[in-house]
Amino acid sequence: MKQTKLIRLLMLFDKEEFKSFGLFVQSPYFNRLKNVYKLYSVLKKYHPGFGSRTLTKENIFGKIFPGQKYDDIKMRALFSYLFTLAEKFLSIEYYFKNRVMNKLDTLNAEINKDERVFSLKKLKEAYILLHEHRTRNEDFYYMLYKILFEKNARSGFFTGKVNYKKETDAFTVYFISTLLRTYAAVFNSKDLLQAEFREDLIEQAVKLAEMEPYKRIPIVKMNYALYMFSRYKENEKYFFSFIDLLEKYPSVYSKEEFSEDISSLLINFCVIKTQQGFKKYFKIKFELFKKLLTRGLLEAEEYFRPFLFNNIITTALQNNDLAFAEKFIEEYKSKLPPGNENIIELSHARLQQYLKNHDKVLEILSKIKDNDDIFLKLVIKDMYMKTFYEKGDFEQVFSMIDSYKHYMHNNPLISRDIKERYHRYLKLTGELQRVKLNPNKGKILELKKSLEKSPSLVYKDWIMEKLEEIEK
């Protein structure tokens, strides 16, 4: 049952949302099918976990249609209808939270009914509501543009007074900052996954961002730095510039968008720099995590993001802070979205790997269920390979290297650059294993030189550490 679209969606509702959804389903304006509300009432008893063995379609059918023979077509129809209502409910809830857009849409609806109802008062109310928000992100300037557009379009007709400069400036800030942030995400993922994009477009946005008056506007300055360090990862000044701007303008971004997008860009930059051999970024990333957690910037949503959860554990262990890692797992594991047991198991496996309990690592990894997450699969394969290496099980190491290579080669979603970087890593790991079996100073020196010539090699520090252990 947990695999159905409806149940997966309802698991994301908190207690209050699920209660409000019930009122929504009960409303004849949105739903006139009594059996759909009956389905909601039955499912309500199982929210939020939906883990009971009694939660089966047959049992649910019996409660909605007592005495009738089970009909799967009926059940599919009810599930589909309730799923559609759940999506509609979330969309309406999101809409009503945007009070400014709501005010503007109401005004436009009234004007469409009768052009004479236009009043500047409603636009002023929308303007005041907009400026009550602390955030000054892209959405702020888009809403400002909408207000100014309506004012020019309507009041100009009645009074002859228009101000297109403010209107176009607001839209230009929205356009520049949105493109910069979008392309920051593009270049962040470009090295990992195949992506198509127009490079000429972002160059125009960059030129505008460097012009007056736009270069003085906080959201433009911050998204410019975000884009620059995401694209030009060799130049770390933009990364530190962004960190400084974050302190200077703490209310530019909402906590939700910071948690969803921006934190990933910051973290990925640190990961790449550590892969390039800049060890100071292990500590920089750890301090960044602690700062963001203290300010609540990584937990603005109802659930903690699995990507961040896994990364924080890894970072704490890289900084030899086992206590922080253990405390973090206990404190935040209940905040992961339902169905992320794999992430919790992986975190425990990491702790055991750090403690060098290799048999325990293999035991935990064997419990992790298969899924479609590309990078989770890569992490698991890597943990298996390193654990076999530590145990001295060289046949299994070579088997994992072969499995690793085939998975990378056959996956069309992984970019060529990442495939090449992992291929070099796996080749060197194979050579490392051979050196461990037959230690040779000349070969060790040769491998070290190969590492020095591979600045962006993944897990470079691990191979170097193992070579130094062999030398001893």
Tell me which residue of 236, 180, 232 sits closest to 203, measured CA to CA. 180
18 assigned to some structural domain = yes
Where does residue 133 rank: exposed (0-12), middle (13-18), buried (19+ CB within 10 A)? middle
Q: How far apart are CA 364 and CA 350, in angstroms?
A: 10
Give the model's pLDDT for residue 417: 78
Q: What are 144-169's pLDDT values in tens digits?
A: 998 888 888 777 555 557 788 999 99
93 shares a domain with 115: no
| Mean pLDDT, rounded, of the chain | 86
Instruction: Report helix, strand or coil for 453.
Output: coil
193 assigned to some structural domain = yes
Number of separate helices (H) and strands (E) present in the chain: 24, 0
Strand residue runs (E) in 262-341: none
Residue type for position 455: P
109 shares a domain with 28: no
Partnered with residue 129 across adjacent β-strands are none
36 shares a domain with 168: no
Extract the tokens encoding 40: 């909601």
326 assigned to some structural domain = no
379 shares a domain with 401: yes
471 shares a domain with 410: yes
Q: Are 310 and 343 in contact (CB under 8 A)?
A: yes
Residue type for position 437: L
The more confidently predicted of residues 2 and 67 is 67
Q: What are 77-87's pLDDT values in tens digits?
A: 999 999 999 99
CA distances from 291 to 77, 221, 287, 300 (A): 48, 22, 6, 14
Q: What are 230-263's pLDDT values in tens digits?
A: 998 888 999 999 999 988 998 888 877 776 788 8
118 shares a domain with 139: yes
Give the model's pLDDT for residue 226: 95
Q: Are 136 and 178 in contact (CB under 8 A)?
A: no
Q: How far apart are CA 217 and CA 209, in angstroms?
A: 9
DSSP string, 404-426: HHHHHHH-TTB-HHHHHHHHHHH
222 shares a domain with 181: yes
Give the model's pLDDT for residue 117: 58
Region 367-377: mean pLDDT is 79
Q: How far apart are CA 137 and CA 262, in angstroms?
A: 12
Q: What are 268-313's pLDDT values in tens digits?
A: 899 888 877 788 999 999 999 998 888 877 776 667 888 788 889 9
Rounded to the nearest 10 degrees, how much is the dihedral formed by the CA atoms of 443, 390, 406, 318? -100
Report the half-sphere exposure of 58 (CA within 13 A, side-chain side).
3
C-alpha radius of gyration, the chain, whole number: 27
248 shares a domain with 110: yes
Q: Are 433 and 398 in contact (CB under 8 A)?
A: yes
Where does residue 157 rank: exposed (0-12), middle (13-18), buried (19+ CB within 10 A)? exposed
Give the range among 15-29, 63-77, 294-308 with minimum mean pLDDT. Answer: 294-308
417 assigned to some structural domain = yes
140 assigned to some structural domain = yes
Q: What is the DSSP letter of 116?
A: G
Give 194's pLDDT tier (boundaries 50, 70, 90): low
Q: Specify whether the backbone of 296 is left (phi greater than 0), alpha (psi in -120 to 50) or beta.
A: left
Residue type for position 46: Y
Considering 63, 81, 97, which residue would you say is the last residue of a domain?
97
- Domain count across the chain: 3
Give the range among 126-135, 205-214, 424-433 with minimum mean pLDDT. Answer: 126-135
333 assigned to some structural domain = no
174 assigned to some structural domain = yes
DSSP string, 166-219: HHHHHHHHHHHHHHHHHHHHHHHHHTTB-----HHHHHHHHHHHTSTTGGGSHH
Tell me which residue of 34, 25, 40 sits closest to 85, measured CA to CA. 25
74 shares a domain with 141: no
Its domain, for residue 15, covers: 5-97
106 shares a domain with 93: no
Q: What angle do CA 172, 176, 179 make, to 5 degrees?
A: 135
Tell me which residue of 298, 271, 275, 295 sits closest to 285, measured CA to CA. 271
Considering 64, 97, 130, which residue would you say is the last residue of a domain?
97
152 shares a domain with 86: no
Give the model's pLDDT for residue 180: 95
What is the end-to-end Cα distance of the chain in Å, rounded? 55
Give the range among 294-298, 371-375, 444-448 with minimum mean pLDDT. Answer: 371-375
Q: Which residues contact 298 (CB under 8 A, 6 or more apart)?
A: 258, 259, 263, 289, 292, 304, 305, 308
Angle separating helix axes 306-318 and 322-332, nearest 10 degrees:
160
Considering 224, 253, 282, which residue would you say is the last residue of a domain?
253
Angle separating helix axes 441-452 and 460-471, nearest 10 degrees:
160
pTM above 0.85, yes or no: no
Tell me which residue of 2, 1, 3, 4 sits closest to 83, measured CA to CA. 4
**Is residue 409 over pLDDT 80?**
yes
398 assigned to some structural domain = yes
151 shares a domain with 138: yes
